[in-house]
Structure 1
Amino acid sequence: MNEVVMRLNGVEKFYNKGLANEVHVLRGVDLSLSKGEMVALVAPSGAGKSTLLHIAGLLDAPDAGEVAIGGDVLSGRSDRRRTNARRNDVGFVYQFHHLLPEFTALENIALPQMANGVGKAAAEARGLELLARVGVDHRADHRPAALSGGEQQRVAFCRALANAPRVMLADEPTGNLDPATSDQVFDALMELVRGTGLSALVATHNMELAARMDRVVRLEDGVLVQG
C-alpha cells in the first residue's frame, strides 16, 4: 500500500458563520495524497479551491475536521507547530511567482534553506541542482526582472522544494502563462515531482494539464468528488 503523506478528514469551512450571508465553502471534504502522487484539483472560480489549499497547507484553520501530514494531525495544534510543519513539510506555488526581486534566482532558493539552518554552500548547491532539473541553472545569477515569465515560475517551483517538503500545493501555477509556455512549465513541474518523489496537489482550470496527472478531483458545492 502506498504511503499516505497528507490526509484531510471531514474538513468544513464557513465564512460569516451564523450571519444572514453565511457561506458554507467546504462541506466535509475528505482527501488523501499518497507519496509520489500528483493530483489535479478542478472547480469553477470561487468554488473554494484556494480555501482548500490554504487549509491543507496550514495557512488557514478548518471550522471542523482534521488535516494530517505524515500521520501527524496538525489542525488544532499550536501556531509554532503548524509553522514548523509549513516550513519543513509543505511547499507552496502560486499563479504569480512572488520571487524576491532584489535577489538572484539562486539566492531566492538558497534563502529559505539558510533560514532553516542550512549553510550557504550547501543551500546554493541544492539550489543549483534544482535549477538544473528544470533547465534554468544557466540563469542562476539573474534577478527575477531579467527572467521570462516561464523562467520565473520554474524558479518558484525550485524555491517551493528548497527545504525538501513532503507535499507541494500549487494554485493555478501556469494560469499566468501563454499555452506554449504553460506546457513547458508544467513539464518542469512534473520533472520535479517525479524526480524528488514528493506529492503534489495542483489546482488548475487547464483540463489538458489535469488529465496528465495521476488523478483528478473536483470541488462541487463544497464537496470533493473523484474524476
Structure 2
Amino acid sequence: MSETVLELRGIAKVYLKGQPGEVRVLDALDLALAPGEVAGLVAPSGAGKSTLLHIAGLLDRADAGQVLISGREATGLPDGERTALRRTEVGFIYQFHHLLPEFTALENVVLPQLAAGVGRATAEARARALLGQVGVAARADHRPAALSGGEQQRVAFCRALANGPRLLLADEPTGNLDPATADQVFHVLMQLVRETGLSALIATHNLEIAGRMDRVLRLENGRLIAG
C-alpha cells in the first residue's frame, strides 16, 4: 500500500497568466496525506482553497507540479483515465449538497455506484447501509426538497463515499448550516471518516472544527504551512 493517499509536489496555478494583474494562487505547493489522516485546510476567502481541492481531486489541472493519488502519478493522464481514477479513489463534498432534486435520497447514493458498474441490488444495499450510518435511513425515499439542510448534507456525505474512495475532499462541508446543525453534521462526517479509514482534506472557515482534525494546514501566499 502506498505510504500516501494524496501527494502534491510543486503545484502551481496562475490566473490571468502573462497579463497585467496576474494572480499566482498556488506557488510550488507541497502536501502529503497519509492513510487515515484527516487534515483541516484554512485560509481566507479567495486564497485558493477550492482551486487546491479541485487540482487534488483531478477536476482541474495545475500549471506545474505533480498530483499522485494512492501512489499513482495522475498529472499527465488523459481525461478518461483521470475520470476513472477520480470515480474510484476520490469522494467530494461541497458547501451546497448538489443532490439531484428529481431523485430520492436513496437514488442519489445509488447513482454513482451504477455509473461505476455496480449492480443495482448491491448499490441499493450499500446506499441503505450508508444512510443508516448517518441517521437518515428513514428518509431514504424522500427527495432532497423534503429533507432538512442537515439531512441533505448527510445524504451528500453518503453519495461521496458510495464508491468506497480512499480520499475525501470537502470544501466547507458545513458552511451552509447554522452553528448547531453544523456541529452535529461535522460530528457525523468525522465518524464516517474514522469508521471507513479514509484520508480527508477538509476546507473550513471554522477554526474550532479545524482543531478537531489530526492537523491544520494554512494556505498562505500559495503554500501550505502548519496551522
TM bin, normalised by shorter chain, reads over 0.9
Does 1:220 pair with 2:220?
yes
Does 1:129 pair with 2:96?
no
Does 1:187 pair with 2:187?
yes
C-alpha distance in structure 1 between counterparts of 2:23 and 2:34, whole Å: 31
Pairing 1:131-210 to 2, within 5 Å after superposition: 131-210=131-210
- Aligned partner of 1:198: which letter? L
Does 1:110 pair with 2:121?
no
Residue 202 (structure 1) shift: 0.3
Residue 166 (structure 1) shift: 1.0
- Aligned partner of 2:23: which letter? V
Partner of 1:11, secondary structure, is strand
Residue 4 (structure 1) shift: 1.0
In the other structure, the counterpart of 1:80 is 80
C-alpha distance in structure 2 between counterparts of 1:201 and 1:223, whole Å: 15
Pairing 1:8-27 to 2, within 5 Å after superposition: 8-27=8-27
C-alpha distance in structure 2 between counterparts of 1:218 and 1:3, whole Å: 23
Residue 38 (structure 1) shift: 0.7
- Structure 2-normalised TM-score? 0.98
In the other structure, the counterpart of 1:89 is 89
Partner of 1:4, secondary structure, is coil
- Aligned partner of 2:64: which letter? A
C-alpha distance in structure 1 between counterparts of 2:119 and 2:83, whole Å: 21
Q: Which ranges of structure 1 fall in alignment gaps of 5 or more residues?
A: none
C-alpha distance in structure 2 between counterparts of 1:101 and 1:211, whole Å: 34
C-alpha distance in structure 2 between counterparts of 1:20 and 1:114, whole Å: 47
C-alpha distance in structure 2 between counterparts of 1:154 and 1:176, whole Å: 13
Superposition RMSD on alpha carbons, in Å? 1.1
C-alpha distance in structure 2 between counterparts of 1:115 and 1:24, whole Å: 36
Residue 2 (structure 1) shift: 8.5
C-alpha distance in structure 2 between counterparts of 1:2 and 1:101, whole Å: 38
C-alpha distance in structure 2 between counterparts of 1:87 and 1:117, whole Å: 11
Q: Percent identity?
A: 69
How many residues of Structure 1 are paired with residues of Structure 2 in the alignment? 227
Pairing 1:24-103 to 2, within 5 Å after superposition: 24-103=24-103
Residue 105 (structure 1) shift: 0.4
- Aligned partner of 1:161: which letter? L
Q: Which ranges of structure 2 fall in alignment gaps of 5 or more residues?
A: none
**Is 2:13–2:24's contact at 8 Å kept on the other side of the alignment?**
yes
C-alpha distance in structure 2 between counterparts of 1:188 and 1:11, whole Å: 32
Residue 163 (structure 1) shift: 0.4
Partner of 2:97, secondary structure, is coil
Residue 3 (structure 1) shift: 2.8
- Aligned partner of 1:105: which letter? A
Partner of 1:86, secondary structure, is helix
**Is 2:12–2:62's contact at 8 Å kept on the other side of the alignment?**
yes
Residue 108 (structure 1) shift: 0.3
- Aligned partner of 1:6: which letter? L
C-alpha distance in structure 1 between counterparts of 2:193 and 2:12, whole Å: 29
